Each structure stands twice: as C-alpha cells, then as structure tokens.
Structure 1
C-alpha cells in the first residue's frame, strides 16, 4: 500500500530510483554552500555524512508524519550545530537541499501535492530553528 503522506511517498519513490542519496545531497550542499565543505574532514567523513543524512531523513519523516519524537532531534541538533559554529541559515538550508535533491530525482513525478507538503514542512522546520534559544 502506498503511503498517504506526500513526504514519505517522495522518499519511497526516490529510493526506487536512487540507491544512495548521500553523494547527491552533499554534492548539492557543497555546490550551493561551499562553506559547508570545510566543516567535514576530507578523510573518513563518508560514514558521518551518511549517518547525518539518515538521521535528518528520520526527523523529516517524523516531523511530516506522526511526530512520535524523532523530530525533536531537529531541536537538539540546532544546539549541537551552534556549538560546532554552524550558522543557523546553513543548518536550515540542509533540509532544503534534501528537498531540492528529491525534486531532481523525482522529476515529473514531483507533484503539486508533494511540493506543497515539502514547502510546509520546510517552513515549519525553519520556524522551529528560529524559535530555538541558544
């Protein structure tokens, strides 16, 4: 049975077309935000990138779905990324980079319903980040 949540559906369709989002997401991130590349070690950072993306996807799915708790990771990670010196704009931009990568992968299957759902969740995430106290 296909998921009714457009965000979840977009990830499932992307998974059918792309074995690993990690290189695509980080390629786009570093192209659009070159300052982000310096935040990762050159050696041994692939597992960190994959893990970070997997946790972010879990948080997005929970945030867009039942909100069982994984979405709280976003609030926690705002603080830890503040400690790393990551600008909040860059933290928020990572979520948009994921959405843009998904849109590229889905192409014509990126429906208005999926687009609306992503816009809504990105706006909500930005709000959560903006409200989080340092």
Structure 2
C-alpha cells in the first residue's frame, strides 16, 4: 500500500493498520469530553447507529479533504438534521474534533506536524462550510 499524498486520508490509512474499529474509541472520547451527548443515543441498538454515523462522517471527511465528489455534502445535510434534533452546531462540529484527536492519539509519533496542520485547516474549513464560523 502506497501512502496517500492527502494527509487526512493518510492519517486514516495509518490508523486502520492498527485499529480495526474506531467506533468505541471515538464515542468514549465524545462521551468523556461532552457528557451531554450520551443521552442523545438510545440505550438499545445505539452501537449500530454510532457505527453508521461514524462511517458516514469519515466518508464525508475524506471526500471533503479530497476530490469533493459529493459525499462531503452530507455534512451540510446533517447540520440541518441535527438542528432539527436541537443539537447545537458547536456540539455537531465537536464530533469532528473528537475524530481528529482520537486519530492523533492512535498515531502517536507517526503524526507529523504537517498532518496536524492539515487536520486543523480541515476542521476550520468544515466549520465555515457548516455555518459555524465566518
């Protein structure tokens, strides 16, 4: 496998080689950092919802950071959908930072300064795209 020139994609590729399922790590961090989010998931069957939500989010992140073929539009759609659930936009965006931070921890020394900058720039761009920041 050759490394992707896209640093966001590369970070996911590196993590995939050491972690088969990010779902429990991502949601444990989310619930620790934002305890109010735990109540947003039903008690029965939430693992499937969380796994699906994470998979769609990763797909949207990769498309947003890459060729933007259409999957990235899910971000804007879900902002509106989560508005309907009463989810504050800042909380919606926090999920992306949780993903970044979980990958950062898993990558350890393999995470380059350039990769960190790419993630920070991506999150700032997603905030603008989602109508959080100007």
| TM-score clears 0.5 | yes
Q: Which runs of 5+ in 2 are unaligned?
A: none
Q: CA shift at 1:84, angstroms? A: 0.9
Q: CA shift at 1:128, angstroms? A: 1.2
Q: CA shift at 1:131, angstroms? A: 6.0
Q: Output the CA distance in 1 between the equivalents of 2:132 and 2:8.
A: 23
Aligned twin of 1:93? 94
Q: CA shift at 1:113, angstroms? A: 1.1
Aligned twin of 2:63? 62
Aligned twin of 2:74? 73
Aligned twin of 1:118? 119
Aligned twin of 2:51? 50
Q: Output the CA distance in 2 between the equivalents of 1:130 and 1:32.
A: 23
The residue correspondences of 1:27-46 to structure 2 (distance < 5 A) are 27-46=28-47
Q: CA shift at 1:3, angstroms? A: 0.7
Task: Flag the 1:86–1:131 CA change in 2: closer, same or farther, 3 A.
Answer: closer
Task: Flag the 1:15–1:123 CA change in 2: closer, same or farther, 3 A.
Answer: same
Q: CA shift at 1:129, angstroms? A: 1.5
Aligned twin of 1:23? 24
Provide TM-score, normalisation by structure 2. 0.96
Query: SS of the counterpart of 2:87?
Result: coil
In the TM superposition, structure 1's runs of 4+ consecutive aligned residues that sit over 2 Å from their partners are none
Query: SS of the counterpart of 1:42?
Result: coil
> How many pairs are equivalent?
132
